[in-house]
Structure 1
Amino acid sequence: LSRGRRIPGFGHRLYKKGPDPRLRVLRKLARDLASEKGDFKWVELAERLEEYVTAHLSQKGIYPNTDLYAAVIFKYLGLPVDINLPTFAISRVAGWVAHVLEYRQTNRLIRPTEKYVGPVGLKYVPISQRS
C-alpha cells in the first residue's frame, strides 16, 4: 500500500461503492474447501488481506474482487500457481466473445454500466430443483 501499487484481487470498475456480491459465494466456497482439506492457511490469509485492504482503501472505492478468493479456491483444488492467470482468462472468454458478438450486431460498443433491459421478475429455481 505504501508504494501505491496495484494489489491483485482488489479493485473493479463497477464495484466502487461496496464489494462485488459474488465474493460472499466465493469466500464460502473457499472456506468449505479449506474445511474439507483441513487447511485454513490460505482462506484465513485472504480474509485478513480483504479486511486490511478494505479498511485502508474502501474510501477510494477499492474493494476485493472475485480473483482474491478464486486464487484461494485454485490453490485448494491443487492447480499449479503458474496456470492461475490462464485459468482466470479462460473463465472470461465466453463473456468476451458474447460482448464482441453484441458489438458487431449494432456496430456500437456496449458499456457495462448500461441499464439491463432483459426479462424481470423471473423466479429463481435452486440448482437441486432444476432439470
Structure 2
Amino acid sequence: MEVSVEIAQELEAMRAEIWRHNHAYYVLDQPSISDHDYDRLYRQLLDLETRHPELITPDSPTQRVGARLSGRLPVVTHDYPLYSLDNAFNREELVAFDARVRKLLELPEDETLDYAVELKIDGLAITLTYEAGRFEL
C-alpha cells in the first residue's frame, strides 16, 4: 500500500516537534510542553508509525531515548539495570502489562500478583542499596 505524501510529511513534522520538546526538556532544562501533551503527541506518532512501519526511521523519537545528555552530571554504572517506565493510558494497556509480567515471571493467570502503583514524576533516577536494613554506600 502506497503511503500518501501528507502522511509522510505529518510524521516528519511530529518527529521534529518532539525533538524540539526533547531538547528543551533534557538539554535546556526548560520544558516547552506539559507531560500530558507530550505523551499525547508521542502516542500519536507511535500510532501513526505502527500503521505505517515502512516510514519508521532510525532517528525517530520512538526509536531512541531522550536527547543528548547535558554532560552536567557524572556517568554512573549501576549494580543492576534501571529499566524505563512506560505509560498506561487505559485498562487495556494495564491488562497487557500484567500479561507481559506474568509471561516474564512464568506465572499462571489465576495466581495473585500484587502491584504498587505510583504517580510517575519525571526527573533523575536513583538506586539505594540497603543490606540488613542499613543503607550502604
TM-score normalised over the length of structure 1: 0.31
If each structure's helix is expressed as a fraction of its own residues, which one has the higher value? 1
Higher relative contact order, chain-length normalized (CA < 8 Å, sep 6+)? 1
